[in-house]
Structures are given as C-alpha cells and as structure tokens.
C-alpha cells in the first residue's frame, strides 16, 4: 500500500523530500528502535518529526524508542521549532517489566513540557495503541487518516477516525496518509513556529466573494481566498473554528452560525479549546456572533462548558475582535463578544441586534400592556418583537450605551478587521502573577 514506508511518509512531510535522520543507530535490545527521528524544512520552516515504524517489531514502544522521541522534544524546546509525530504502532514492548510504562511516561512528560511553546501535530497514519494515544491526543492538532484508529488496551473498543472526529478528538480526518501529511504541512504554514514568534504574514489575496450573513458568505467575503482551514468540523456542529488569513495575516476564526441551533456543550468546549490554542501562540481571534444563545436543555453539562468558554475568552491576552453579524442573545454576547472582556474591539452590523433575552420574551416583560386587546395575539407579538429589535436591542442603541465600539456595514467588515489587526499588532497585557486559571473542565 502507498505510504507504508517510513521514508515515504517523512519525504512527503519535508520540502523536496529531504530530511536528516537523528540517532539512526540506536538499538532496542537486539533490533533497531522502531521509530525514525529527523529534522528538515516544511514550507521553509525548520521542523522536527518522528515516524513510528510498524515494520520493525510492530512499531513497539520501548525505552530506546522513547529516548529518541524525547531527544527530539528537547531539541525542539531549545530551538523553538514545531514537532510532527507520525503514529503507527501496535503498542509497547512486552517483556513483562514496567519499562514500557517508564518509556511512555518519559514521552508524555517531554510533550507536556513544550505544550503551548511549540506547535505539536499528530498524524495518526495507522494504529495508535496504548499510551501512545495519550501522547498523540495531547498534541495541538490530531490529524487522522480515514482508515486509522487508536485504542488504550487490547480489549478496549477501537476508536475509528470517524468516531474521533465526532467526539472532538481529531482536528481533521483525511482520505489517506498522504493527504493527512499534506494537512500537517498546511497547518505548519499558517501557524507561528513557536509562542514567541509572530504569526506568519503572506501576500494579501482577494476574498473569494462578497460578504453575506451566512457562514459561507462571511468566510468567502472576509478572509483571503482559499486560506481557511476548518478544524473539528463534525464536533460542535453549531459552531465553526478555522485558521485563515485576512490581508495576508494569520487569524483564528470563530463563528456561531454554522447552523441555526443554539450553542451546545460541544460547541462551548470546541470554541474554548480553539481560543486557548490561538492564545498560546498569540494568533488573533476574530469572532462572528450570530446565535440565539446557549442551549439550556442540559443545564448541568452546559453550564460547565459555558463557564469554560467564557473563562477561555476572558483569560486570553491575544488580539480579540468580535463582529455581531445577526443576533446575540443572552449571556453568549458577554462570553464571546463582550467589549473589553471578550474582545478588544466589538462591532455590529447595521442589521444586528443584541438582547438579554429573546425579543418575544422581552416584549412580554416590557410591553405586555401593548398586547392587551390584540385581535391576533401572535401577530401583534411578532410585530412588537420586530419593533424591539429595531429600537432597544438595535446595534445603534448598543453603540449609544457603549455596549459595542462601532456599527459597521457588512461590506466594510474585511477592511475594518484588517485595520484593527494592524492597530492592535503591538498589544501587550500584564496580568496578576499566577500559574494559570483554574478552568471548569
């Protein structure tokens, strides 16, 4: 089968197929260690990579295997370069001792030490067994080939790429190993190489279309043509998260109108993780808000993830811009678009409205007397709701009371965002000394 050879996989990752192998002579007992570690260039960026070799002892992970990978992480931490791991192993070396557990612990510790410092990309090319799945799924990006899988123990259920995508574990699923590696190259190309480097800038491209209120119209009208890389497309289906470019600058895009549904627990978790990823590498976050708010059918689960979402936005010190493109109802506005807390600049389209409750509910509270005596109560309530949206809840009113920074037209959105990104490029924030927020996971 194509791309089963480790050399082919590494060649596909690195520019011109060229790479330099590290520690090629290390042995695992009486056989070569079942992993190849190397460095080279990806789109001109220095990158470290390892590829597990299932043709050697089934890709079994032992101490020598772990030492090679840990050395790679140490080098990456010194030089600030991304790491790509290509996973394909049947599990640990089984010699009856706890040595393999020590090996996995060493790798997990090495990965954790550079989390948020350098981008880590896991490409699951075949089987990812045992504690390797913990290591892989701890990466910033998990890209799975369609036929790949992972499991924790031999008697546990195998997790397919499709299941991993729906559970929010896989960032993306590709048709084959080659396209999964190409996706890794795309991500390296758009991400900063480490947490101290600026987001890459490219020659600006014209947008693919004109701005319209639907998700496709926003992406095509605001971002540079064909630069959006969507992540977690099958998880949290009401929301959209992607890396893209605006006037040549890398940004993280969050949109809440992928469907007309309210944001559910999965959406909150998905957006929170994405915002924290962008913040770790100082990638600006641009949020397009258009939603009736949070789903409240499962209060216990949802309130935890709502809190996680709000905390992630509030904690993030990267550049944050928000545009209300339709409706922002209830606490979702404060969580993802609120001025000064969730956003440096908050804009709203002329047609947008911002309301603490649904307009129909607001009418019942505020204008109940106007409903009295109505021949058609439903029609009158709808009429008053439209009046409420165009008056008390309007974008203009929100601007008047300082709830947003500016009312803009849809057609000006790209230019306004590009200008704000330029102005905020030198943003600096000093916070109280602490290790990290205690987020409600």
**For range 182-208, the mean pLDDT:** 95
Report the sign of the C-alpha dihedral through residues 200, 429, 439, 134, in that order.
positive
pLDDT, position 2: 58
For residue 113, pLDDT over 90 is answered with: yes
∠258-261-266 over CA atoms, to 5°? 80
* Cα gap 370→181, rounded to integer Å: 62
β-strand pairing of 159-160 with 120-129: unpaired
Contact residues for 226 (Cβ-Cβ < 8 A; gap 6+):
205, 208
pLDDT band at 94 (very low <50, low <70, confident <90, very high): low
How far is 306 from 294, CA to CA, in rounded Å?
8
In the predicted structure, residue 104 carries a pLDDT above the cut 90: no
CA distance 151 to 140: 19
- Does residue 320 register a pLDDT over 80? yes
Distance separating alpha carbons of residues 38 and 380, to the nearest angstrom: 70
What the block records as the tokens of 440 is: 């409600």
- Is-contact 225 205, C-beta < 8 A? yes
Q: What pLDDT is attached to residue 195?
A: 96
Q: What is the pLDDT of residue 347?
A: 98
Q: What is the 3-state secondary structure (H, E, C) of 5-31?
A: CHHHHHHHHCHHHCEEEECCCCEECCE
The confidence score (pLDDT) of residue 39 equals 98
**pLDDT higher than 80, residue 204:** yes
Which tens digit of pLDDT belongs to each residue from 128-147? 887 788 899 999 999 999 99
Q: How many residues does the chain have?
A: 441
Per-residue pLDDT of 264-278, as tens digits, reads 999 999 999 999 999
Q: What's the CA gap between 326 and 323, in Å, rounded? A: 9
pLDDT over 80 at 156, yes or no: no
- Residue 1 scores a pLDDT above 50: no
Burial 40-71 (b: 16+ CB within 10 A, else e): bebeebebbbbbbbbebbbbbbbbbbbbbbbb
CB 376 within 8 A of CB 331: no
Q: Are 199 and 221 in contact (CB under 8 A)?
A: no
Integer Cα distance of 319 and 426 in angstroms: 9
| 219-270 tens-digit pLDDT | 999 999 999 999 999 999 999 999 999 999 999 999 999 998 999 999 999 9
Q: How confident is the model at residue 99 (pLDDT cuts 50, 70, 90)?
A: confident
Q: Rounded to the nearest 5°, which phi and psi values hold at 408?
A: -130, 160
Instruction: Report the share of the chain in percent with pLDDT over 90.
Output: 73
Band (155; pLDDT cuts 50, 70, 90): low
Mean pLDDT within 161-165: 94
Q: What is the pLDDT of residue 96?
A: 54
The model carries a pTM of 0.94
pLDDT band per the 50, 70, 90 thresholds, residue 153: confident
* pLDDT at 101 (0 to 100): 76
Neighbours of 77 (CB within 10 A): 16
Report pLDDT digits (tens) over 27-62. 888 888 889 999 999 999 999 999 999 888 877 788
């Amino acid at each position: 089968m194509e791309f089963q050879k480790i050399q082919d996989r590494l060649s596909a990752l690195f520019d011109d197929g060229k790479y330099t192998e590290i520690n090629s002579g290390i042995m695992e007992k009486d056989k070569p260690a079942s992993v190849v570690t190397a460095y080279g260039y990806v789109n001109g960026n220095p990158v470290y990579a390892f590829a597990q070799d299932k043709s050697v002892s089934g890709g079994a992970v032992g101490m020598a295997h772990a030492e090679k990978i840990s050395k790679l992480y140490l080098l990456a931490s010194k030089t600030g370069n991304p790491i790509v791991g290509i996973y394909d192993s049947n599990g640990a070396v089984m010699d009856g001792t706890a040595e393999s557990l020590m090996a996995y612990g060493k790798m997990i510790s090495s990965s954790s030490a550079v989390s948020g410092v350098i981008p880590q990309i896991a490409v699951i090319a075949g089987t990812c067994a045992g504690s390797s799945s913990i290591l892989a799924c701890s990466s910033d990006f998990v890209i799975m080939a369609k036929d790949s899988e992972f499991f924790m123990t031999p008697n546990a259920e195998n997790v397919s790429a499709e299941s991993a995508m729906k559970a929010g574990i896989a960032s993306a699923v590709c048709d084959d190993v080659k396209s999964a590696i190409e996706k890794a190259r795309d991500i390296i190309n758009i991400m900063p190489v480490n947490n101290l480097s600026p987001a890459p800038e490219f020659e600006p491209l014209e947008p693919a279309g004109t701005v319209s209120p639907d998700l496709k119209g926003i992406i095509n009208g605001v971002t540079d043509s064909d630069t959006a890389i969507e992540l977690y497309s099958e998880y949290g289906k009401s929301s959209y998260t992607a890396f893209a470019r605006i006037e040549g600058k890398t940004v993280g895009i969050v949109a809440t109108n992928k469907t007309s549904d309210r944001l559910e627990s999965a959406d909150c978790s998905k957006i929170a993780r994405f915002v924290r990823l962008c913040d770790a590498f100082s990638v600006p976050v641009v949020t397009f808000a258009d939603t009736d708010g949070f789903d409240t059918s499962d209060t216990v689960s949802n309130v935890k993830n709502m809190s996680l979402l709000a905390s992630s936005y509030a904690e993030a010190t990267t550049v944050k811009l928000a545009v209300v493109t339709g409706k922002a109802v209830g606490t979702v506005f404060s969580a993802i678009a609120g001025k000064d807390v969730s956003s440096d600049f908050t804009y709203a389209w002329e047609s947008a409205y911002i309301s603490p409750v649904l307009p129909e509910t607001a009418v019942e509270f505020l204008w109940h007397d106007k409903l009295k005596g109505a021949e058609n109560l439903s029609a009158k309530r709808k009429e008053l709701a439209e009046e409420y949206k165009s008056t008390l809840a309007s974008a203009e009113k929100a601007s008047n009371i300082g709830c947003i920074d500016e009312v803009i037209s849809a057609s000006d959105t790209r230019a306004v965002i590009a200008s704000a990104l330029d102005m905020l490029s030198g943003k600096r924030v000093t916070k109280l000394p602490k290790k990290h927020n205690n987020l409600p996971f």
